[in-house]
Amino acid sequence: MKSSVIIFPGSNCDRDMDVALKKFGFKNTMVWHNDDKLPKSDLIVLPGGFSYGDYLRCGSIAGKSKIINSVIDFAKTGGLVLGICNGFQILTETGLLPGVLLQNKNIEFICKNVFVKINDKNNKYFNKINKEILELHIAHNEGNYFCSDDELKEIENNNQIAAYYCDEKGNCDNDSNPNGALKNIAGILNKEKNILGMMPHPERMIDKYLSGEDGSIFFKNLLKNLKI
């Protein structure tokens, strides 16, 4: 399976993502934001970081970069696009995913491990994943998911909420909500379920000695689903 990771000026999780994808068997290519064509890929990843210094709004400038038109075309023809953290912010700014990531409720940069509960498995990312609650890492200042009441109704009706923040046991409440996100939303899918944006970083949890292995579960499962 072939993947591509887009590098924007200010991306800083691009190489971590490259390491993770290769570790689980993807043939990965790094793509510069100023290119206009994507290599043939089964998966495009928009990595975490601070693209364009978070100028204007997080992800807004990257959302208009040269490569992004090819990413949008790829996504609209059903190609898998995964946005992590800043990548999630970019996906909302392009309009590929509904809503927006606001500044964290407590105005603090949050960097810690959290638990997320997978909500929808009817997609290539989480189909048949053998763990419901994953321990992943978050590191962001703008991760507070927000959308209008009408949009919320629509994404709930379409089962577009990919994952919720929760505690170790899977309880989703204020105490397990790190950033004030609406309904504890940690990740969102598009209606067609080929685009996933999420704030937590699976690529930071791929080594049992350094962190944890719940990210490994995510990548292994994704690869398995892509091969079917």
Partner 1 sequence: MKIKVVVTLKNGVLDPQGKAIQQTLNGMGYSNVQGVRQGKFFDLEIAENDEAKAKAVAEEMCKKLLANLVIEDFKIL
Which CB, 99 or 215, lies closer to partner 1?
99
Task: Choose the binding region for partner 1 from 10-18, 53-61, 163-171, 210-218 (rule: CB under 8 A).
Answer: 53-61
Of 85, 147, 166, 172, which residue is the catalytic one?
85
Task: Choose the binding region for partner 1 from 17-25, 52-60, 114-122, 196-204 (rule: CB under 8 A).
Answer: 52-60
Residue 66: how many other CB atoms lie within 10 Å: 12
Please give the single-letter amino acid code of residue 18.
D
**Judged by CB under 8 A, does residue 103 bind partner 1?**
yes
Question: In sequence order, what are the residues at sequence separation of 6 or more whose Cβ sits closer than 8 angstroms to the Cβ of residue 111?
Answer: 137, 138, 139
**Judged by CB under 8 A, does residue 69 bind partner 1?**
no
- Alpha carbon 219 to its chain centroid, in Å, reads 12
Strand partners, 115: 135, 166
d(CA 111, CA 171): 21
d(CA 101, CA 92): 8
Strand partners, 117: 133, 164
**Judged by CB under 8 A, does residue 99 bind partner 1?**
yes
Q: Which of residues 74-93 bind partner 1 (CB under 8 A)?
A: 92-93
Q: Which of residues 168-197 bind partner 1 (CB under 8 A)?
A: 180
How many residues sit in the footprint of partner 1 (CB under 8 A)?
20
Please give the single-letter amino acid code of residue 190.
N
CB-based contact 132:138 (threshold 8 Å): no
Which CB, 115 or 145, lies closer to partner 1?
145
Task: Choose the binding region for partner 1 from 27-35, 99-107, 117-125, 219-227 (rule: CB under 8 A).
Answer: 99-107
Alpha helices in 1-145 (DSSP H): 14-23, 68-76, 86-94
Which residue among 102, 133, 217, 223 contacts partner 1 (CB under 8 A)? 102
Which CB, 107 or 228, lies closer to partner 1?
107
Task: Choose the binding region for partner 1 from 23-31, 73-81, 142-150, 213-221 (rule: CB under 8 A).
Answer: 142-150
Residue 111: CB minimum distance to partner 1, A: 18
**Judged by CB under 8 A, does residue 56 bind partner 1?**
yes
Whole-angstrom CA distances from 112 to 1, 12, 140 are 31, 17, 10
Q: Is 172 a catalytic residue?
A: no
d(CA 101, CA 58): 8
**Judged by CB under 8 A, does residue 210 bind partner 1?**
no
d(CA 23, CA 170): 29
Q: Which residues are catalytic?
A: 85, 201, 203
Q: Give the residues lining the site for partner 1 (CB under 8 A).
A: 56-57, 60, 64, 92-93, 99-100, 102-107, 144, 146-148, 151, 180
